[in-house]
């Protein structure tokens, strides 16, 4: 009988060539949290958990993975259905702990284990995971994020990215109101409704109302996380005055939360983050409900290309995504981690065609940047 023999957390960290600035603060370093699963027959699988911010979330996630590893170890993996069974055991054994320990940490850790198990299963079956889940190969549109400078410089960069083939570009707001409007005004002049703006939950209800009214004239493609996704009352009030679509979902930490947000009708674009929500099947569940209700969905991931490959897998399974996030900032882990590059060209992506979820990591690169 093939069983899970080990579950290991691997934490990578690099300095950034220039700080990444968000409404919640500034990051001078960047993390990647990987989970490697080994099976009794020697097969390995890799998954990813979101530890982008705060930076100390990586140490917390290492502890969480170490805590759930003994529950997963010894579990059977002889059929695809066994993956959901392992996840069910992990959830059942940790549900009460969510009152004592971080709900986010537990879901994101379980999700990384689930992705690693799907990766291992795909390698065992010599097939891509999206194919095993009934998906279809597709060309996936992307939007670009991760570039900065003055409003004029951002507009110039955005112009080049759109000419390169990206379907849209995204800027971060949630800082000084006048500066935010100036940035949106400059970039919307070259991007129109191909401009998205991300607040990262940086506004109060009053600030959000004022800023939505100021940004309405620019015809944004969407406004992302103007408030916390669990502020249903605040989102409902914004929905009444916003002329642009609202987007949220990257900070849902279970399939139930993601599906509930899709069913609420408070956002037009659902944004499942597989490295946070609890894995591939949780994200698929939310995206399917969004499509059934006539909403858009756009998978979210801001770390390595293992997680990006999982995003593309979801899109191949559910179909017809809105443009998905592609970070274009210079970063050695993203560019050098995988043993072969993903198919990303002309602003579009394709799901990984080889066995598993993504190409295997280059262990020398893993060890170069490993801190945990």
**Domains of the chain by range and CATH?**
4-126 (3.30.390.10), 132-361 (3.20.20.120)
Confidence band (pLDDT; 50, 70, 90) for 291?
Answer: very high
Confidence band (pLDDT; 50, 70, 90) for 20?
Answer: confident
Q: Is there a cis peptide before residue 54, judged by omega within 30 degrees of 0?
A: yes
Question: What's residue 27's pLDDT?
Answer: 83
Q: What is the pLDDT of residues 187-205, one digit of tens each?
A: 999 999 999 999 999 999 9
Residue of 105 and 18 predicted with greater confidence: 105
Question: What's residue 335's pLDDT?
Answer: 79
Confidence band (pLDDT; 50, 70, 90) for 25?
Answer: confident
Q: What is the pLDDT of residues 294-343, one digit of tens each?
A: 999 999 999 999 999 999 999 999 999 999 999 999 999 987 999 999 99
Beta bridge partners of 7: 37
In order of 24, 53, 64, 170, 327, the CA distances from 20 in angstroms are 11, 11, 26, 14, 12
Half-sphere exposure of 95 (CA within 13 A, CB side): 6
Distance CA 86, CA 340 (A): 30
Q: What is the pLDDT of residues 58-93, one digit of tens each?
A: 999 999 999 999 999 999 999 999 999 999 999 999
Question: What's residue 356's pLDDT?
Answer: 98
Distance CA 329, CA 204 (A): 29
Decide: helix, strand or coil at residue 326: strand
Q: Are strands 344-345 and 348-349 parallel, antiparallel or unpaired?
A: antiparallel
Distance CA 155, CA 149 (A): 9
Question: What's residue 301's pLDDT?
Answer: 95
User: What is the DSSP secondary-structure string of 273-298?
Assistant: -HHHHTSHHHHHHHHHHHHHTT-EE-
Question: What's residue 306's pLDDT?
Answer: 98
- Tokens (6 digits) for 320: 């017809």
Distance CA 110, CA 105 (A): 9
The vertex-251 CA angle with 72 and 100, nearest 5°, equals: 55
Percent of the chain with pLDDT over 70: 100
Burial 346-370 (b: 16+ CB within 10 A, else e): ebbbbbbebbbbbbbbeeebbeebe
Cα 176 to its chain centre, rounded Å, is: 26
Distance CA 124, CA 118 (A): 10
Question: What's residue 131's pLDDT?
Answer: 98
- Tokens (6 digits) for 120: 């291992």
Question: What's residue 193's pLDDT?
Answer: 98
Is the pLDDT at 24 greater than 80? The verdict is no
């Amino acid at each position: 009988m093939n069983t899970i023999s080990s579950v290991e957390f691997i934490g990578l960290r690099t300095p950034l060539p220039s700080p990444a600035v968000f409404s919640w603060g500034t990051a001078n370093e960047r993390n990647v949290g990987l989970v490697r699963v080994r099976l009794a027959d020697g097969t390995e699988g890799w998954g990813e958990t979101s530890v982008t911010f705060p930076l100390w979330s990586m140490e917390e996630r290492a502890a969480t993975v170490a805590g759930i590893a003994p529950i997963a170890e010894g579990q059977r993996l002889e059929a695809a259905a066994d993956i959901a069974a392992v996840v069910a055991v992990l959830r059942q054994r940790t549900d009460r702990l969510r009152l004592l320990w971080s709900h986010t940490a537990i879901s994101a850790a379980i999700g990384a284990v689930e992705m690693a198990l799907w990766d291992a299963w795909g390698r065992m079956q010599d097939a891509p995971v999206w194919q095993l889940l009934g998906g279809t190969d597709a060309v996936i549109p992307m939007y670009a994020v991760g570039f900065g400078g003055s409003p004029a410089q951002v507009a110039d960069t955005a112009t080049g990215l759109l000419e390169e083939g990206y379907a849209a570009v995204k800027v971060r707001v949630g800082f000084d109101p006048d500066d935010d409007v100036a940035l949106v005004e400059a970039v919307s002049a070259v991007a129109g409704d191909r401009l998205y703006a991300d607040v990262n939950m940086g506004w109060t209800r009053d600030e959000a109302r004022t800023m939505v009214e100021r940004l309405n004239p620019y015809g944004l493609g969407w406004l992302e996380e103007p408030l916390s996704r669990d502020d249903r009352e605040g989102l409902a009030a914004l929905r009444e005055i916003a002329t642009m679509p609202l987007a949220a979902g990257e900070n849902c930490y279970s399939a139930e939360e993601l599906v509930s947000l899709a069913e609420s009708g408070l956002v037009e674009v659902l944004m499942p983050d597989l490295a946070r929500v609890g894995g591939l099947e949780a994200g698929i569940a939310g995206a399917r409900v969004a499509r059934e209700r006539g909403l858009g969905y756009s998978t979210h991931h801001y770390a390595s290309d293992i997680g990006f490959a999982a995003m593309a897998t979801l899109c191949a399974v559910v179909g017809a995504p809105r443009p998905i996030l592609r970070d274009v900032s210079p970063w050695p882990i993203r560019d050098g981690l995988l043993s072969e590059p993903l198919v990303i060209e002309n602003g579009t992506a394709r799901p990984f065609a080889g066995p598993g979820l993504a190409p295997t990591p280059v262990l020398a690169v893993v060890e170069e940047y490993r801190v945990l």
